[in-house]
Amino acid sequence: MKAPKLEQSEAAFLDEEQARHVLELLNDEPLKWKVAMYLLMFSGMRRGELLGLEWQDIDFDKRIIHIKRTSQYVQHMGIITKSPKNATSYRTVKLPEFVFDLLREYQAYWNKLRNDMLDRWEHFITITLADGSTQTVRNDRLFIKDDTTPMNPDSLTDWTSNFVKRNKLPHFTPHSLRHTHATLLIAEGVSIPTVSRRLGHSSITTTSKIYVHAIQSADEVASDVIDGKLNPFHHDNGKEEAK
């Protein structure tokens, strides 16, 4: 017997007003966490993809981020580095100029930290791969622990939870910001294929199932727009009033 197929649950997200409020509050937070949250909200990347980012993945001239790997915590293995979730998860995402200005500021902070730590900075680190093998690579991760090794993704979730509680905000997680990104794009009329590509979904169907409510809301807006543009009765009424 086949197990019953689970229904795709609706995505939890912040509305536009809530998202703006969160961005304002982040101005008072440490730069590392501010940058992490901004990247999640403006790129729609997954938590593990964010923590897998290296500086070599950032193209400052073209304002593009290349998503090539993901970082995860696995029991009995610790933090591992693996390929993105699926083939379409290998992608590039373009971000606004002001987000890259923030990244430049963070890169300067990161470089200063490396210089200040001197011999305590691990210039090369040993990472664990999904198959359990290890590899020595240059230490280039954007988000690191105090010992300069890759950060545990759960640390970001814990920080977000504390941030929400401190500011008495509606509950959300790092993954909620991915959903916020997608929902706001759909609400503004961005095509589903474009949103799907930015999220790195395996198919447009996946995107449509997760964001069915946002798509329906956008369709209602589209109906109102075309009604206002082409409804002959509206235009006839306008002519009558002008007489």
How much is the pLDDT for 12?
A: 79
If phi > 0 it is left, if psi is from -120 to 50 it is alpha, else beta; for residue 117 that is alpha
For the chain, the straight-line distance linking the first and the last C-alpha, in angstroms and rounded, comes to 72
CB-CB contact of 172 with 12 (8 Å): yes
In this predicted structure, what is the pLDDT of residue 212?
84
Cα 199 to chain centroid, rounded? 8
How much is the pLDDT for 3? 37
Residue-level pLDDT at 169? 96
pTM (predicted TM-score): 0.86
Give exposure, 123-136, as e/b (b: 16+ Cβ within 10 Å): eebebbeeeeeeee
Of 78, 200, 198, 69, whose CA–CA distance to 137 is shortest? 69
- For the chain of 243 residues, list the mean pLDDT of each consecutive stretch of 10: 39 88 97 98 97 98 97 94 89 96 98 94 94 95 94 96 97 95 92 94 90 75 64 61 49
The CATH superfamily label for domain 16-231 reads Intergrase catalytic core (1.10.443.10)
Tokens of 128: 């664990």
> Where exactly are the structural domains of the chain?
16-231
Q: Residue 222: what pLDDT?
A: 60
